[in-house]
Amino acid sequence: MSFGQGGPYGPGGSQPPQQRQSSQTPDWAAMADHTATRGRRRRWLFIGGAVLATAAVGAMVATAVVSSNDKDGSSDDSAKHLPSQPTLPRESESPEPSFSNVAPPAPPKPLDIISDAKRDKAPLSAKTLFPDEEAAKEGRSYAKAATSSTASCAAGTQGSLGSVLSGNGCRKLLRATFSKDGVAVTIGVAVFDGRASAEKAKNGYKPNVASLSGGGVPAFCRQTACRTSANAIGRYAYFTISGYTSGKKVTTSDTQALQAGRDMADYTFRRILARGNAQASAAAGSNG
């Protein structure tokens, strides 16, 4: 087949029928509408997916919050269901000990005891009041020689002392003699019902208690000058007479007889006070 000038599509050449050519032209408007529709669909799908994703995240957060609240709630619920307090044992039906509001009495004072015959009840004799075979004071020791006890107080005195003792209600006169280096001392303890009577006997003192011989000590201070003293404690008035067993006169400047009399007076004071201490201790022990 030969073709004329202009090639197959030039003048005089054969051309496809017009109808065939128009049927193959694209519908650009339709294609544009289709493309726009697809774009809009994709956009809505994207937006919808984002909404769904947001909703899903929100649901997860809500779930977490609910879970957290559930945990707190479970804690509260656990607190509500804590074990109940154990039942304490019932109080004993036996009566509780009671304590008195009254303060216990104060322990008795030794001086109060030995000032009243109603309280001063311990055994009383020359042996109990003078139990020691020796009386010591600052290294000076005196040996006990003799003791005596009489209910007739005047019988153990000489001079005017007997009437003084009897006039104040003396109940008993206890005597003891101690000696050292040729000096002898007799102690006379007059016992009364109360302190006031003993004080009156001491203040009204007139010589003197009679010396007591025996136990190797001869009679002394009967026909010669001697040292005397008087004192009182509680319901007891006590007197001393001291001198030489040789009969030697005691002068005002003599110190040996004076010292012996003072030592024995101090010993007697301590012995009477010890009597009060012993009874006070016994009374305190019985009250406790």
Determine which of 14-18, 85-89, 155-159, 246-250 has the lowest per-residue pLDDT on average.
14-18
pLDDT of 284: 85
Mean predicted confidence (pLDDT) in 28-56: 54
pLDDT of 287: 67
Whether residue 17 has pLDDT greater than 50: no
Mean predicted confidence (pLDDT) in 173-195: 98
Mean predicted confidence (pLDDT) in 53-62: 48
Mean predicted confidence (pLDDT) in 179-206: 97
Backbone angles phi, psi at 230, to 5 degrees: -145, 140
User: Which pLDDT band, with edges at 50, 70 and 90, does 5 fall under?
Assistant: very low
pLDDT of 207: 92
Whether residue 33 has pLDDT greater than 80: no
Whether residue 210 has pLDDT greater than 80: yes
Backbone angles phi, psi at 115, to 5 degrees: -100, -5
Percent of the chain with pLDDT over 90: 60
Mean predicted confidence (pLDDT) in 14-33: 50
How far apart CA 134 and CA 177 sit, in angstroms, is 11
Whether residue 160 has pLDDT greater than 80: yes
Determine which of 51-65, 127-141, 230-244 has the lowest per-residue pLDDT on average.
51-65
C-alpha separations of 285 from 107, 112, 279, 281 in Å:
9, 17, 10, 6
pLDDT of 23: 45
More confident residue, 202 or 85: 202
More confident residue, 284 or 104: 284
How far apart CA 169 and CA 163 sit, in angstroms, is 10
Contact call for residues 153 and 173 (beta carbons, < 8 A): yes
How far apart CA 91 and CA 89 sit, in angstroms, is 6
User: Which pLDDT band, with edges at 50, 70 and 90, does 285 fall under?
Assistant: confident
